[in-house]
Each structure stands twice: as C-alpha cells, then as structure tokens.
C-alpha cells in the first residue's frame, strides 16, 4: 500500500499543498497485473518505442512529419504550429488540404480502388459493401447534389442519420466542398435537434425516413418535421435517405429524396484544398456533466492526429486488417474513428446499424466472425453488458481474427478489462479454444474536445495494465497536477491537464470564445484543463479516476468514484456500479453506491448490501465502504453509454434531477427514485 492509501497522511485544505499532496485524490485501488507484448507482435508493430523520443525532441516537428507522411497536401504548410495567441492554436500554417480527397480519391489514384472501404451490416441483415472507388463516386455525387441545393464553403449542414453509409458519405461530401457538418445523434429529440440547428444556423438537414431498432422500424423524419415546424430557422432544404420505407410527411420544395438528388447528380467533382484551419465540423459533447458544448474542429491538425493515432494505437496494417469501431457517428468516436481516420488510412472497416441484441445477443460476435474483424474498438458500457449476458454467448463464435482490442468513453474497470481480454481477446475458435497470447487491449483516453486519442498504450511497445490508459501518446504533453498546478509525483493523484497544444485540439466552442477560455484554460495558467481526475502510479502510468465534478470528500479524504466502482464490479454478483458522494452531516460527504446485479445473482436485501460493503472494505479499505448501497434495475446513461452520476447525486441528495436531455432512457430516473423510497 502507498502511504496515502492507509489514510495516514494528513489531507490539507483545498488550495493548499501542505503535505506535498495538496487536496489530491487518494490512491486506493491496487492493480499489479501487467501484460507485455509478445516478441512477434512487437517485431511486426507499425511503430516502436523510438517514437516517444523522436516526438519529445521536437513536438511540432514530429507532428509536421506525420502530417506530410499521412496526408496529401495541395499546398505544403510553412509552419507546423502558430501558438502566438493562446489558447487559439493554428497548426500547419498556410497548408491546403482536402479531407475527402485524402479519405477517398487518392487511394483510387494509388490503385486501391477495389479495396473495400466499408462493409455495412444493416440491423435486419441486409448488407452493402463499398469499395474505395464506389465510395469516392458516391461522395462526389453528394457533393454535387449539396452544391446544387445552394450549400457553399463555410455553410453548416445538420446531419441526423442512423448508422448507415450515407452518414459517412454526407460528412465527407460536406468536407469536400468545405461545408461544416454538425452531426446530431439520431436518438435525440426534435428539441435537441432544433437547438443544434439554431446554434449552428444550418442551411441543409440530411436525414432518413428512419432506421431499425430491435427489429422494428424507428422513425427519424418526423423529428425533423417537428424541429422545423416552428418558424425562424435557417434551414432551406432537407435531403431524405429512404432506409426503412415507412410513410413520411412531405414538404414540397423543401424536402428531397436522396435518390432523386444525390442519385441523379454527376459523379464528376474535383476536390480543391481548403486551408488547414478551415472548420471541418461542429459536434456537441455528450452532456455527461452538464449542458452540451458545440465543439469546433478544423481540418489539417485533426486529420493528422486522428490518422496517426489510428495507425499507431491500433497497429493498423491497412492491407490486411478489418477494423470495427462500434461507435455511432453521432459521437466524436464515430467521427474520428469511423468517418475519417480509417478512410484516410485506406483501411477496410465494418459499420453496423443496430443494437447488440438484435436479433440475438450474439449479433456482434456473428459480425466479427463473418467479416474476420481484426481490430475491435468499443466502450466499457458494452463490455459490461456482455459480461452481464454471459461468456457463453461470445464463446459460440470464432473470434480468432481479433488481434487488437480498444476501449473508449469511460474508465474501464480492471474486471471488465480482464473479461474483455479473456473472453474476446483469447477466443481462438467456437469450440472454446484459447489463444496462448490474447490480443492486447488499448484503453484510449480522449474527449470530443481533444478530437483524437491522447493517452493510450502502444500495443507493440507498452506492457498493458488492466484499467489504465497509461501513457501519453507521442507528441502529447499530458500531466497530472495538484490544486496549485504543480505536477504531482508518481504515486499521487490530481487533475488531468494537457501542457502543450496538440494538432487535433478543439479550436473553440462554436460562437463562444469566452466560454472556450473559461471552461478549459482558466483553471490552470497555460494548461488545458480536461475536467477529469487522474493519478500517476509508482511507474508513472496514468489512471483515469472519473470527473473532477464527481470526486468525493469523505472525512477529508478525496476519493474517486471510479476506484470504488471498480471494487464493486470485481465482486462476482455485480454487473455495474455507479458511486456518488452525497452530503452527510458527520462525514461531509458519504459514499452512496447504485449497483446492478448480474443475471444469476440473487438480491437478499440487507445481506447482499452487507456483503458488498465488506467487499469494498476488503478491496480498498474501510474509508471507501459505501454508507448506502442501492440495488437498481438500471443506471442513468447518456445516449453514448456513459453513466450520468450527477443525476444520481441529485437523487441521493433529494433534489430534482438536473438537465437530462441526453439521457438514453428518460424513465430510468423515476425507477431509481422508486427504489429509493422502499
């Protein structure tokens, strides 16, 4: 145990750094397992350990090299980074580049036109594959169609589509002509769509009649009609993809079927370079901690870092790998690692429209087996769901093609990490065969704001640790600092910051430069404040500990939600856990845990609660024992699958829950309130 963990050090008041530890987070969880890459993997890896040194020697030069290697520029840039007016960065100054040309045309010109770019799998089982030549053709047509509807460089286009190839085609067509896309997740309401349309003053909306959800047609177009039913909006045209064939209302003059506009457009379209700093897209954050922010990304730096990380972190061999990122295009992960990086890198990827349990709970593994997916990138929420369903389900499929596994979106509990490794990464066939060397797992920390991965192991270099994102990527300056902005020593916790500008960094909050400065650049002088708590372990590896807003202060000890949740999830009865600090008269705050039990666990009321409390006490110490443990049927999550602890905290403290517009199931809060009353 470290000296913090037994509670023997004094915890100073906020603002002071008395004991050298300030009011830093305390290290509680102890995870000693480590998995080094095999010599074979290391020998064939696309990047080796030398990249760190190279990047440290001259960060902007390192990124300039990547920019020139990974992208084709119409006009070369004259300066890697202009940081003369912080926090407003300019990367690759003077360069001209077209994102769609880089994702498409150049691969065709290089003789890769017949390589499959996208294997699409619809929820009902329909499939479509696009080669690079075909996808290029579609994007050229869409670019012509959008231009004929009056969309010009700099105009904003709202995209409200399901996970179908037209979503990617639309985004790339916008990028091609220099229009700025703003993708709104298809599960959002008409109100959420309208507020995002208004915020960006979108001229065009691209949508579909609907999609399929759990075997049933699910409508989209009615939400667009409702969003636009109130006057005073900026939208001139709506393009509608026919996906599920359900009847839709039609607004003559405003609405156009995709097949009549894009389908009829010319396939000749020449891409011209746009300035490296030309806006590429606006995307709203998930809303886990509050009201979503419209994050602005630009072209050259964003493409460079997404392409580089996609290659280095997933060890991408584009000639042979089949990549599958399960994120919806409505989230940043679906932008960076579905729409852009895999295509810029010339990879073959899988895109799936539906839910993991349609028509059965083995659907994902069936897809992996069918397309021989070799790199799978998903979120802890999905992994915990599969754990709940049981290992027999993936065990029925041949997942031997998998050679790299990725995780993103939330801290991954060590237990879920080990399950991912053992059940998915070690699967060598449908008869229970196991690999001697399971696929490496890369836990990737990043945000909508960072645009691309920032902290992650390199699978051919790093000895991975269950539950830790571990190391800043080459060219990225990550630190953990105390209240005063001083770097904390190894073995201590604090606030996660980025010390130097990075290529894919957000360029602002759309239309609100002051909010940009206040939110990210005012907490610590000259540093980007990510809003997450983190610790450095004794090796200097980084562990993400949850939102700073969620940190608990129990009798003067600052505890992380993540560590207590991980302790709960390590108990065989628990599938998922969410922990909050609720105000308490004696201890300042008390730990309140909400848990979901696994399918085969029985809830014995007080006995179950006592068992789980003692388990936490044993795993991390008495100070972390939850005062209350509530067994609940579900947890409130954002549409992107992240636990919304602030709503649970509202419940635990007897308040009306706050902004829940990005909640996936609006009835969850009532169900939880009900279980509290009992």
Binding region: 213-216, 333, 409-411, 443-448, 532, 547, 555, 558, 569, 571, 574
d(CA 204, CA 159): 8
Size of the site for Mg ion (CB under 5 A): 1
- 37 CB-side CA count, 13 A: 21
Interface residue with ligand ATP, options 285, 345, 561, 608 (CB under 6 A): 285
Interface residue with ligand ATP, options 87, 113, 165, 292 (CB under 6 A): 292
Binding mask 533-562 for ligand ATP (x = CB under 6 A): -----------x--x---------------
CB of 168 to Mg ion, least distance (A): 24
411 binds ligand ATP (CB under 6 A): yes
Q: For residues 625 and 613, is the Cβ–Cβ distance under 8 A? A: yes
Only one residue has tokens 């995002």, namely: 196
Burial of residue 566 (CB within 10 Å: 0-12, 13-18, 19+) is buried
Segments in 363-430 forming alpha helices (H): 363-371, 380-389, 392-395, 414-419
Interface residue with ligand ATP, options 121, 410, 415, 482 (CB under 6 A): 410
CB of 587 to ligand ATP, least distance (A): 26
Residue sitting closest to Mg ion (CB): 285
Binding region for CoA: 213-216, 333, 555
Binding mask 231-270 for Mg ion (x = CB under 5 A): ----------------------------------------
Alpha-carbon separation of residue 194 from 224, 539, 657 (angstroms): 8, 48, 23
Q: Which stretch binds ligand ATP (CB under 6 A): 69-77, 370-378, 387-395, 402-410?
A: 402-410
Give 549 or 584: the residue with its C-beta nearer to Mg ion: 549
CB of 164 to ligand ATP, least distance (A): 22
Question: What are the start-end ranges of the E strands in 111-231?
Answer: 116-121, 127-131, 156-160, 180-183, 204-208, 210-213, 216-219
563 binds ligand ATP (CB under 6 A): no
Burial of residue 115 (CB within 10 Å: 0-12, 13-18, 19+) is middle
Helix, strand, or coil here: 392? Answer: helix
Calculated CA dihedral for residues 80, 84, 90, 93, nearest 10 degrees: -50
Phi first, then psi: give them for residue 420, nearest 5 degrees: -60, -45
CB of 341 to Mg ion, least distance (A): 21
Q: Is 390 left (phi over 0), alpha (psi -120 to 50) or beta?
A: left
Size of the site for ligand ATP (CB under 6 A): 27
Q: For residues 407 and 466, is the Cβ–Cβ distance under 8 A? A: no
457 binds ligand ATP (CB under 6 A): no
397 binds ligand ATP (CB under 6 A): no
Please state whether beta strands 552-554 and 216-219 pair in parallel, antiparallel, or not at all (unpaired).
unpaired
408 binds ligand ATP (CB under 6 A): yes
Q: Which stretch binds ligand ATP (CB under 6 A): 100-108, 187-195, 282-290, 342-350?
A: 282-290
Give 167 or 612: the residue with its C-beta nearer to ligand ATP: 167
Q: Which stretch binds ligand ATP (CB under 6 A): 23-31, 155-163, 169-177, 409-417?
A: 409-417
d(CA 303, CA 340): 7
* Helices and strands (H, E) in the chain, number of each type: 22, 30
- 629 CB-side CA count, 13 A: 27
Q: Which two tokens stand for residue 631?
A: 């067994």
Give 491 or 531: the residue with its C-beta nearer to ligand ATP: 531
Interface residue with ligand ATP, options 151, 179, 469, 648 (CB under 6 A): 469
Helix, strand, or coil here: 160? Answer: strand
Q: Identify which of 455, 648, 477 has the alpha carbon closest to the alpha carbon of residue 544.
A: 455
d(CA 608, CA 631): 9
Residue 410: name its binding partner from ligand ATP, Mg ion, none (Cβ under 5 to 8 Å by kind): ligand ATP
Alpha-carbon separation of residue 673 from 341, 550, 635 (angstroms): 42, 20, 11
Name which of residues 277 to 296 contact Mg ion (CB under 5 A).
285
Residue 544: name its binding partner from Mg ion, ligand ATP, none (Cβ under 5 to 8 Å by kind): ligand ATP
Binding mask 414-453 for ligand ATP (x = CB under 6 A): -----------------------------xxxxxx-----
Helix, strand, or coil here: 369? Answer: helix
Residue 165: name its binding partner from ligand ATP, Mg ion, none (Cβ under 5 to 8 Å by kind): none
Residue 532: name its binding partner from ligand ATP, Mg ion, none (Cβ under 5 to 8 Å by kind): ligand ATP
- 365 CB-side CA count, 13 A: 25
Interface residue with ligand ATP, options 136, 289, 299, 427 (CB under 6 A): 289
Q: Which two tokens stand for residue 170?
A: 């639309």
CB of 621 to ligand ATP, least distance (A): 23
Looking at the DSSP assignment, which residues form a beta bridge with residue 323?
349, 375
d(CA 654, CA 582): 10
Name which of residues 620 to 659 contact ligand ATP (CB under 6 A).
640, 642
Interface residue with ligand ATP, options 369, 532, 537, 541 (CB under 6 A): 532
Q: Which stretch binds ligand ATP (CB under 6 A): 166-174, 285-293, 297-305, 433-441?
A: 285-293
d(CA 14, CA 561): 19
Binding mask 492-531 for ligand ATP (x = CB under 6 A): --------------------------------------xx
DSSP line for 268-330: ------EETTSEEEEEE---SSSS--EEEEESHHHHHHHHHHHHHHTT--TTT-EEEE---TT
Alpha-carbon separation of residue 139 from 120, 447, 639 (angstroms): 16, 28, 28
Contacts (Cβ under 8 Å, ≥6 apart) of 323:
314, 316, 342, 347, 348, 349, 350, 373, 374, 375, 377
CB of 335 to Mg ion, least distance (A): 15
Helix, strand, or coil here: 80? Answer: strand
288 binds ligand ATP (CB under 6 A): yes
Q: Which two tokens stand for residue 7?
A: 């509670």
Name which of residues 311 to 340 contact ligand ATP (CB under 6 A).
331-332
Residue 292: name its binding partner from ligand ATP, Mg ion, none (Cβ under 5 to 8 Å by kind): ligand ATP
Give 418 or 545: the residue with its C-beta nearer to Mg ion: 545
348 binds ligand ATP (CB under 6 A): no
Residue 443: name its binding partner from ligand ATP, Mg ion, none (Cβ under 5 to 8 Å by kind): ligand ATP
Q: Identify which of 427, 432, 436 has the alpha carbon closest to the alpha carbon of residue 405.
A: 427
CB of 549 to ligand ATP, least distance (A): 9
Interface residue with ligand ATP, options 286, 349, 560, 566 (CB under 6 A): 286
Q: Residues in the site for Mg ion, rule: CB under 5 A?
A: 285
Q: Residues in the site for ligand ATP, rule: CB under 6 A?
A: 285-290, 292, 331-332, 408-411, 443-448, 469, 530-532, 544, 547, 640, 642
């Amino acid at each position: 145990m470290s000296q913090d963990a037994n509670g023997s050090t004094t915890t100073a008041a906020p603002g002071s750094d008395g004991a050298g530890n300030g009011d830093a987070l305390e290290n509680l969880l102890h995870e000693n397992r480590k998995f080094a890459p095999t010599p074979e993997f290391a020998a064939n890896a696309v990047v080796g350990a030398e990249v760190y040194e190279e990047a440290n020697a001259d960060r902007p030069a390192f990124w300039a090299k990547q920019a020139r290697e990974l992208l084709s520029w119409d006009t070369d840039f004259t300066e890697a980074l202009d940081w003369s007016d912080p926090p407003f960065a300019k990367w690759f100054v003077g360069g001209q580049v077209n994102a769609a040309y880089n994702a498409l045309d150049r691969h065709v010109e290089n003789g890769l036109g017949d390589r499959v770019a996208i294997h699409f799998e619809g929820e009902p089982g329909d499939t479509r594959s696009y080669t690079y030549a075909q996808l290029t053709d579609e994007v050229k047509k869409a670019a012509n169609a959008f231009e004929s509807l009056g969309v010009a460089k700099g105009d904003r286009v709202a995209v409200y589509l399901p996970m179908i190839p037209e979503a990617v085609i639309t985004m790339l067509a916008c990028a091609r002509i220099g229009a700025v896309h703003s993708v709104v997740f298809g599960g959002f309401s008409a109100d959420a769509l309208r507020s995002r349309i208004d915020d960006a003053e979108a001229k065009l909306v691209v949508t579909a009649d609907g999609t399929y959800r759990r075997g049933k047609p699910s409508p989209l177009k009615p939400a667009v009609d409702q969003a636009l039913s109130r006057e005073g909006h900026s939208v001139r045209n709506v393009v509608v993809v026919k996906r599920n064939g359900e009847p839709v209302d039609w607004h003559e003059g405003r609405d156009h079927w995709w097949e009549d506009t894009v389908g009829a457009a010319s396939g000749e379209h020449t891409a011209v370079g746009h300035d490296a700093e030309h806006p590429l897209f606006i995307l709203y954050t998930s809303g886990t901690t509050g009201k979503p922010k419209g994050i602005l990304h630009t072209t050259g730096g964003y493409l460079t870092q997404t392409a580089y990380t996609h290659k280095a972190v997933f060890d991408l061999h584009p000639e042979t790998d089949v990549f599958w990122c399960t994120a919806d295009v409505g989230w940043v992960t679906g932008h960076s690692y579905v729409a852009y990086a895999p295509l810029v890198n010339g990879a073959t990827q899988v895109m799936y429209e539906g839910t993991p349990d349609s028509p059965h709970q083995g659907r994902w593994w069936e897809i992996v087996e069918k397309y021989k997916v070799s790199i799978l990138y998903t979120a802890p929420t999905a992994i915990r769901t599969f754990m709940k369903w049981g290992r027999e389900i993936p065990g029925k499929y041949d997942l031997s093609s998998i050679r790299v596994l990725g995780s993103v979106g939330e801290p991954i509990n060590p237990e879920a990490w080990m399950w991912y490794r053992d059940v998915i990464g070690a699967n060598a066939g449908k008869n229970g065969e196991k690999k001697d060397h399971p696929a490496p797992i890369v836990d990737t920390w990043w945000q909508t704001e960072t645009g691309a991965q920032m902290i992650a192991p390199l699978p051919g270099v790093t000895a991975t640790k269950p539950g830790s994102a571990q190391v800043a990527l080459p060219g990225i300056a990550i630190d953990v600092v105390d209240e005063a902005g001083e770097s904390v020593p190894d073995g201590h916790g604090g606030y996660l910051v980025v010390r130097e500008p990075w290529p894919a960094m957000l360029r602002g909050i759309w239309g609100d430069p002051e909010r940009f400065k206040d939110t990210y650049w005012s907490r610590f002088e000259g540093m980007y404040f990510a809003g997450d708590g983190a610790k450095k372990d004794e090796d200097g590896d980084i562990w993400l500990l949850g939102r700073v807003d969620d940190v608990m202060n129990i009798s003067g000890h600052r505890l992380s939600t993540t560590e207590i949740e991980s302790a709960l999830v390590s108990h065989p009865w628990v599938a998922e856990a969410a922990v909050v600090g609720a105000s308490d008269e004696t201890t300042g705050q008390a730990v309140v845990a909400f848990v979901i039990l696994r399918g085969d666990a029985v809830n014995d009321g007080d006995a179950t609660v006592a068992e789980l409390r003692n388990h936490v006490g044993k795993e991390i110490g008495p100070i972390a024992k939850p005062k209350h443990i509530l067994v609940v049927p579900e947890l409130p999550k954002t549409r992107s699958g992240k636990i919304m602890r602030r709503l649970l905290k509202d419940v635990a403290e007897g308040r009306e829950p706050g902004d829940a517009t990005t909640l996936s199931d609006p009835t969850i809060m009532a169900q939880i309130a009900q279980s509290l009353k009992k």
